[in-house]
Structure 1
Amino acid sequence: MTSSADRSLQPKRSNTGKLMLGLSVGLAVTAFFYFDLGRYLSLDGLKANRDDLLVFTDSHYSTAVALFVVAYCLVVGLSLPGGAIMTLAGGFLFGSVLGTLYVNVGATMGATVAFLVARYLLRDWVERKFGSRLGAIQEGFAKNAFSYLMTLRLIPLFPFFLVNLVSGLTRVSIMTYVVATSLGIIPGSFVFAYAGRQLGTINSLKEIVSPNVLMAFMLLGLLALVPILYKKFAGRSTSAV
């Protein structure tokens, strides 16, 4: 049986854990910008180092895959800029299909880390501060979380890091979040990984996301909303009878 003294220590331990986690995330993000590590996560940086990266990948394939997945996880988990460049690098180094697979693993792991950080550090404060305003969003995620998340992942108009953080503030289950994220990012990841195979001909990320590609993503996102719309209209027709 847990004593009253042990119960009184639990909030302190929880607060200490949150403080340590917050400091760790803050230090990691600060170090990223202080040492200007973002210069390596740019199109010019990737092009400048592509020969060295190819040599290392060919010589140490398994290590390269592991490092790539971990690096991608850190970039996404800390909500750092550079996810698109990392996806290009994945296609360039590992090919369109395997690159998409490794990107999916790293991005899903990183998104889950960001989700848990947001839920663990921010959720209680946000619910106390904006609880009344979050009611409709919470209800929507609770009823149709999978379709909502699939739509948000498929349509690139919504920043990836923002979806991670906002999802962590809802009551969506982590399993639903992981599955919807993993499936929803496949089309976009493949487009960038495929483009990575033609790295030498790309001068801007805008060249990859053409209007036709954006339209395709929009249609995919709308398809993910079909179950929600069906339930909504089916419910209306039933109540009208």
Structure 2
Amino acid sequence: MTEVYPKQKAVPVKQSSEQSAAAPKGVMRYLPLAIILAVAAIGYATLGDYLTFDTLRENREALLAFRDANYVLTVLVFILIYVAIVAFSLPGATVATLTGGFLFATFPGALFNITAATLGAIAIFQAARWGLGEKLAARMEASDGVIHKIKQGINENEWSMLFLIRLVPAVPFFVANLVPAFVGVPLWRYAVTTFLGIIPGTVVYTSVGAGLGEVFARGETPNLGIIFEPHVLFPILGLAALAALPMILKALRGKKGL
């Protein structure tokens, strides 16, 4: 007798289609970060000779004339260019900050610089978090030993750590942009600490840019090492110490508890 088997539902086909539909999503999450890395590589190879102090000096009169004729447009274009420089980690961030001071004075130039730098930092933060940050943060949270302790320490002192990496001049700006994305820092906290944390250094360089007219007249170059001079560095380090104070107090309380 011939056995009759019930017809089976095409479940494997359905699962296969779902998997194939999910695959591009997994790949697409890396696309923003891949674009940033590609543009950054191209930018360093092609724009390094253009986004310089010499370029600003050679085009200063044209820039001032354009600003006087189109102030609002100049502000918008400047902010967009600055955002792109930070978001794609292109060379010329310091020159862009000086240009903000040169074109718009210390204020509102500092406000334009801080806003643009924060927006650019948020862009690269989001790209890094979508691509790698969520997975890395999850692995660090699930791991044991030293890695888990590092992640836990960052979680317990996020505000202090985020302010510290922004205030300490020795920490490269792109490093401070990427590290929080890899440890699962919330976006709003990252944005707030970035905006407030970069104020001291940005104001210093913007004020240097505001005085570039005299520097150009003397045929000199600006003192970009001014942020490491004692009268500038010590107040910034004081703010960094203030940001680290909660961590220090927490550590001291922990030792007393032992």
Give the alignment's TM-score, normalised by structure 1: 0.87
- Pairs aligned (count): 236
Q: Equivalences for 1:75-224 in 2 at 5 Å?
A: 75-123=85-133, 126=136, 134-200=147-213, 201=215, 203-212=221-230, 213-224=232-243
* Offset of residue 118 of structure 1: 1.6
CA deviation vs aligned residue, 1:46-77 (integer Å, no higher than 9, x gap): 11111111111111111111111111111111
User: Which of 29, 39, 43 is residue 32 of structure 1 equivalent to?
Assistant: 43
Aligned to 1:225: 244
Query: What is the alpha-carbon distance in structure 1 between the residues aligned to residue 162 and residue 33 of structure 2?
Result: 26
* Contact preservation (8 Å) 2:114, 2:202: yes
Q: CA RMSD in A?
A: 2.5
Query: What is the alpha-carbon distance in structure 2 between the residues aligned to residue 45 and residue 59 of structure 1?
Result: 21
User: Which of 56, 63, 78 is residue 68 of structure 1 equivalent to?
Assistant: 78
CA deviation vs aligned residue, 1:201-232 (integer Å, no higher than 9, x gap): 25154443342122332222111101111222
Aligned to 2:3: none
CA deviation vs aligned residue, 1:161-180 (integer Å, no higher than 9, x gap): 01111111011111111101
Give the alignment's TM-score, normalised by structure 2: 0.81
CA deviation vs aligned residue, 1:21-49 (integer Å, no higher than 9, x gap): 24432442244234x22333211111111
Q: Secondary structure at the match of 1:40?
A: coil
* Offset of residue 127 of structure 1: 5.9
Structure 1 gaps of 5+ residues are none
Q: Secondary structure at the match of 1:225?
A: helix
Q: Secondary structure at the match of 2:183?
A: coil
| Cα distance change of structure 1 residues 61 and 37 upon mapping to structure 2, 3 Å threshold | same
User: Which of 13, 19, 23 is residue 24 of structure 2 equivalent to?
Assistant: 13
* Contact preservation (8 Å) 1:155, 1:220: no
Structure number with larger C-alpha Rg: 2
Instruction: Specify the code of the residue in structure 2 equivalent to 1:96.
Output: T
Query: What is the alpha-carbon distance in structure 2 between the residues aligned to residue 197 and residue 22 of structure 1?
Result: 34
CA deviation vs aligned residue, 1:170-193 (integer Å, no higher than 9, x gap): 111111111011000000000000
